[in-house]
Structure 1
Amino acid sequence: MRRSVMMICVLTLMTTLLSGCWSRKELGDLAVAIGLGIDKSDKGYRVTVQIVAPSMAAASTGGGNSGSPALVVETEAVTVMEALRKLTTKLPRKIYLSHLSILLLDEATAKAGILKPLDFMFRDHEVRLDFNVAIVRNGSASEALSIMTPLERLPSRDLYDSLNGSHKFWAPTSAVRLLDLMKWFDSEGQEAVLTGLYLEGNLEKGKTKENVEVINSPLKFEFRGIGVFKYDY
Structure 2
Amino acid sequence: MENSFYNFANQQLTQIIKNELINLEKYVANELAFIYLENDTAQNRLLLRKITQLHLPLNVVLVSENIEISKLAWQANLLHFLHLPKMELYPNFTLFQDRLMYKHEYKELPKKLKINFKGGVDIIEIKDICYCIGEGNYTTIFLSTGLKKTITFQLNALEKKLCLAPNFQRIGKSFIINIDKVSKIKGSSVNLNSKNELELIISPLYIKRLKKAVMWY
Q: Which has the larger share of strand? A: 2
Larger Rg: 1
TM (normalized to structure 2)?
0.27
TM (normalized to structure 1)?
0.26
